């Protein structure tokens, strides 16, 4: 029962991670640039200029945005796809579902596979966000003293989403991995005919 509870908890964490990753991918505030009272926000899909009026322009062509944005956008989308796939696979292997009940070993391995996919998705999200953030730091160091570059809210949302996906994947595969890592007991080492007499 405890294992089933851990799986449900892990699934909910991973689902929250997917929601946060989707939200971060489509948020405008990935990078914030301030020039006095004027602010410019850079997103993966559009940029916004905030002054007396807020003007947002979508990135109309993939060839007109920097490679930094193109790579981040692609990896975030891949992370979303992997997150979704990991959740679907996990559902098949969770103890609280009725899928694969006749094949207990296969069901357990399916849950672990889903957990591993979720961990990979989370690592992708955290890695690409950290890479993007390093670019913001570089821009800050190279900027004119009147300009200020900061992380946008989407960076923190993406980090949180990635970490939640990783934690969810770990909870989903914890029980199975622990069983695999445990050393066999003395009874398990004995032949069946002898273990009956111990």
Q: Domain ranges in the chain?
A: 2-30+62-182
Cα–Cα–Cα angle for 147, 74, 86, rounded to 5 degrees: 125
121 confidence band (pLDDT: 50, 70, 90): very high
43 confidence band (pLDDT: 50, 70, 90): confident
Domain made up of 2-30+62-182: CATH architecture: Up-down Bundle (1.20)
Tell whether the model's pLDDT for residue 182 goes beyond 60.
Answer: no
Per DSSP, the chain holds a count of helices (H) and strands (E) of: 6, 5
Of 15-29, 74-88, 122-136, 183-197, the least confident: 183-197
Query: How large is the average pLDDT for residues 36-51?
Result: 82
Higher pLDDT, 145 or 130: 130
17 confidence band (pLDDT: 50, 70, 90): very high
Query: How large is the average pLDDT for residues 41-51?
Result: 84
The closest of 5, 17, 49, 36 to 167, measured between CA atoms, is: 17
Could you tell me whether strands 54-58 and 46-50 are parallel, antiparallel, or unpaired per DSSP bridges? antiparallel
- The number of beta carbons lying within 10 Å of the beta carbon of residue 148 is 14
Question: Coil, strand, or helix at residue 40?
Answer: strand
Query: How large is the average pLDDT for residues 41-70?
Result: 80
């Amino acid at each position: 029962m405890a294992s089933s509870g851990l799986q449900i908890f892990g699934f909910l964490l991973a689902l929250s991670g997917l929601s946060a990753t989707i939200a971060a991918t489509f948020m405008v505030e990935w990078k914030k640039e301030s020039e006095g009272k004027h602010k410019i926000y850079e997103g993966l899909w559009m940029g916004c200029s905030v002054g007396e009026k807020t003007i947002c322009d979508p990135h109309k062509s993939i060839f007109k945005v920097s490679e930094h944005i193109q790579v981040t956008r692609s990896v975030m989308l891949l992370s979303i796809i992997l997150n979704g796939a990991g959740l679907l696979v996990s559902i098949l292997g969770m103890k609280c579902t009725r899928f694969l009940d006749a094949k207990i070993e296969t069901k357990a391995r399916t849950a672990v596979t889903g957990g591993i996919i979720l961990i990979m998705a989370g690592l992708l999200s955290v890695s690409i966000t950290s890479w993007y953030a390093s670019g913001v730091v570089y821009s800050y160091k190279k900027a004119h003293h009147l300009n200020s570059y900061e992380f946008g809210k989407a960076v923190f949302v993406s980090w949180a989403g990635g970490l939640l996906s990783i934690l969810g994947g770990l909870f989903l595969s914890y029980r199975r991995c622990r069983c695999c890592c445990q050393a066999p007991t003395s009874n398990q080492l004995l032949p069946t005919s002898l273990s009956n007499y111990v």
